A and B are shown apart, each in its own frame.
Chain A
């Protein structure tokens, strides 16, 4: 009996002793593909719309580096960052990684190799680098641009007796027009889905340039965010007012943005929507239901006369190189092939994405896409992209509370300020 206890004690003691030494967060050991093989992780290459793009990029890379095997692994987007987190923890994984711009890549920049020296030649040709940079270093090359144009349904404006080619310039006029549209056509002002808390992000970025002064806007993006400024507070007040005064569709907090919100806009149940430029919820998606020439893109209606509205946009998705890859130069060359003009042209034509290469001719896409591309030059980084994932998550929940009335704007802004300063 005594001996049995001894055995167990030795077993447990041994386990405990070794448990103390090991850390699951050990330093990443270099691994990844071998010298003549590169592994790419993304959530795009499995999509039929991106097949042509991937082919073009592969061909371009094969010309420069014949004999290097490139393998694309398409992961499900739902679990993408979970899988990537596991790979980063173990310090092993793909050589080239697709990222969303903003928080998603900045939070993981420790695991990536800076690309500045490899992509210097592309800096002028491509737009949207800011979203893939941290502390002055670039970690990925932008493929698409992602932003939040203010779309409107010209048909509904026309039916309500408004001039579809002269949308409201100020917030007051915009709300007045919405009243007319709802009265005449029964359509709501905004299509909005905030189930996941994304609605507020789009709203913040779209209305930001029409509410903040240029100085406040630039400070925000640069990380000097003044949450107590009346202009910042005004954006959240607008969000609450829009909900309280019935501008939004019903059941905002249980409506999914993808794709119930956009379905409401496409089916003419709402006159305006703050959408996207690329991938989904954008001009190409809408054009399947609304004639392309009936989709309008307007500047955000001015709230503060000291503000100048501009298109909020950033690099949307971009390819990064993992720190643990054997030959960063080779991997960076693959990234350059993935952002070559030819490949991006195919991505625009097949997938309807506004790519980072703004020299691509988009005139065939209809008036809305032309307006968007023309606004890119004067555009600025979106406000919400500058926030950490933690603050965005909190903002999503607070935005739901603002709509349901269980918190006040003052309290919400105070909580966001606290979250933003602690990182």
Chain B
């Protein structure tokens, strides 16, 4: 675009009528104009399909949804209500709990990344039976959240096997899914169990790029396992770790619905609500689609901020490395 000067502004174009001596001089710019117009339109035409898909299927519905969130529910269906829905959200302890739980998930993120990282390290260091573990660890990743949820609902039931086991050890039963202080951790724990296999595979792929001579050198120098992890493995895998952080975060914020639905239904006492579940309840159960739209918009903004923050961190870290 920048290498071709716009013909209408070229000095020859302006000069031609005033001098009137060299009529041919206007011809090349005219040809130029036709050629450059096609040239200018070509990229637009070429990107049009992609832009249209994004605009029609993504941005347009997004704007409709945001627009819809400023209208009312029930008797006020279709009328503009300004920020009423957002005020209702802020006033709803359930939505605040849902947002609080998002914060909790962010805090638990390092744990969710450390587990597959550590297990991948052991597999890479070829602990006895590492081939078996590699398969076993990945296995839960192929199960649907609903099935995982159903299995763990049985296991974690008040009179279920886990409590029997604890009882045998002399520890009192814990109401894993019925105690509001415990339930969210139980659900997140199950989510991590069900999804860490994918992160493990990413970590193993990262290990494949790790220079094994560094590990050997550390071994020769007599480094202990924690020292090896801290000074050799973590710096060598920093890009992989960042990637796993981001994908795990996205997974936690967007795909816990199935587990919540099956394991706790948002309870007990509303303690395991996440924004997604809140949106679903308001739309489907309470028949308040406009309020649900407002909650969706709020969730979108949160995801946008989290996503931008992650990109910023990633960019800075990448800049440091390259």
Contacts and interface: CB of A to CB of B under 8 A. Distances in A.
A265 to B, nearest CB: 15
B178 A15 contact: no
A82 interface: yes
Given A19-B63, A253-B267, A27 B286 contact: no
B71 A404 contact: no
B289 interface: yes
Contacts of B40: 3
Interface in B42-100: 44, 55, 59-60, 63-68, 71, 74, 77-78, 94
B179 interface: yes
B74 to A, nearest CB: 7
A195 B264 contact: yes
Interface string A175-212: 00000000000000000000111000000000000000
B178 A254 contact: yes
B175 A195 contact: no
B42 to A, nearest CB: 14
A404 B180 contact: yes
Interface string A96-111: 0000000000011010
A20 B281 CA distance: 27
A224 interface: no
Interface stretch (A39-47, A378-386, A389-397): A389-397
B283 A400 contact: no
B178 A81 contact: no
Contacts of B264: 195, 254
A22 interface: yes
Contacts of B173: 250-251
B60 A25 contact: no
A3 B39 CA distance: 14
Most chain A beta-carbon neighbours within 10 Å: one of B173, B176, B285: B285
B68 A253 contact: no
A203 to B, nearest CB: 16
B158 A404 contact: no
B206 interface: no
A400 B268 contact: yes
Q: How large is the interface on B (under 10, 10 to 19, 20 to 34, 35 or more residues)?
A: 35 or more
A401 interface: yes
Given A195-B265, A404-B180, A404-B269, A250 B158 contact: yes
Interface string A235-256: 0000000000000001111111
A81 B285 contact: yes
A369 to B, nearest CB: 31
A79 interface: yes
Interface string A57-85: 00000000000000000000001011001
A79 B66 CA distance: 24
Interface in A261-318: none
B29 to A, nearest CB: 18
B73 to A, nearest CB: 9
A396 B285 CA distance: 14
A406 interface: yes
A404 B179 contact: yes
A101 to B, nearest CB: 15
A29 interface: no
A251 B159 contact: yes
A344 to B, nearest CB: 29
Interface string A1-43: 1011001000100011001101111110000000000000000
23 contacts: A19-B60, A23-B67, A23-B78, A24-B64, A27-B78, A82-B283, A85-B289, A107-B74, A110-B74, A195-B177, A195-B264, A251-B159, A253-B178, A254-B156, A254-B157, A254-B268, A255-B157, A389-B285, A390-B286, A400-B268, A400-B269, A404-B269, A406-B269
Given A107-B286, A404-B180, 15 more contacts: A19-B63, A22-B64, A24-B64, A24-B65, A25-B68, A85-B289, A110-B74, A250-B158, A253-B268, A254-B158, A254-B176, A254-B183, A255-B157, A255-B178, A260-B157
Interface of B: 1-2, 40, 44, 55, 59-60, 63-68, 71, 74, 77-78, 94, 153, 156-159, 173, 175-180, 183, 264-265, 267-270, 280-281, 283-287, 289-290, 293
